[in-house]
């Protein structure tokens, strides 16, 4: 289990390649920064976090999901700082014996991260205006 908050770009690859052979299903989610917000052209997003608490809460979410859905493993990475359109802000990956658990667990983790982690984003628009969410 890995839960991480980082400013480095998120590299996407098959995260459970070497985890043994009882894995039957892997579901991954990528949250990507869009180029518009409320139909205004976005220059980039800025994500601020209470990194310590966000990281602790993320690991709590993963732990809950692993127990609730009998997962074999789960990973989540939230990028913070400046993120440009097309870049990945959130990566979640889970694996389980069967597919149903993986789909449900991945969705649960993404929802929980968005609801529970002390992370905030600010739109920086092409026209120079800014707005916190």
Between 5 and 95, name the residue whose CB sits nearer to a second copy.
95
Q: Which of 56, 64, 97, 116 binds a second copy (CB under 8 A)?
A: 97
Q: Which of 26, 49, 77, 106 binds other proteins (CB under 8 A)?
A: 49
The 3-state DSSP composition of the chain as helix, strand, coil percent (nearest 5) reads 25, 40, 30
Using the contact rule CB under 8 A, the part of the chain among 13-21, 34-42, 51-59, 63-71 near other proteins is 51-59
Buried/exposed code over 61-78 (b: 16+ C-beta within 10 A; e: otherwise): bbeebbeebebbbbbbbb
Using the contact rule CB under 8 A, the part of the chain among 53-61, 63-71, 104-112, 119-127 near a second copy is 104-112
Q: Smallest gap, in angstroms, from Cβ of residue 35 to other proteins?
A: 17
Burial label, 124 (beta-carbon count in 10 A; 0-12, 13-18, 19+): middle
Nearest to 40 by CA among 131, 126, 108, 103: 126
Q: Hey, which residues between 57 and 96 contact other proteins (CB under 8 A)? A: 57, 78, 89-90
Q: Which does 50 bind (CB under 5 to 8 A by kind): a second copy, other proteins, none?
A: other proteins
Site string for a second copy, 36-75 (x = CB under 8 A): x---------------------------------------
Angle between helices 99-116 and 51-68 (to 10 degrees): 150
Please give the helix or strand (H or E) that residue 37 lies within, else none. Answer: strand 36-37
């Amino acid at each position: 289990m890995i839960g991480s908050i980082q400013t480095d770009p998120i590299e996407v690859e098959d995260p459970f390649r070497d985890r043994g052979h009882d894995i039957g299903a892997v579901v991954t989610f990528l949250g990507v920064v869009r180029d518009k917000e409320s139909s205004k052209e976005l220059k980039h997003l800025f994500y601020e976090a209470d990194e310590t608490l966000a990281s602790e809460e993320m690991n709590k979410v993963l732990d809950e999901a692993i127990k609730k859905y009998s997962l074999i493993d789960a990973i989540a990475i939230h990028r913070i700082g400046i993120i440009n359109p097309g870049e990945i802000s959130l990566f979640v990956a889970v694996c389980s014996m069967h597919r149903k658990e993986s789909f449900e667990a991945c969705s649960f983790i993404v929802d929980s991260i968005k609801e529970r982690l002390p992370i905030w984003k600010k739109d920086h628009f092409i026209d120079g205006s800014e707005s916190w969410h």
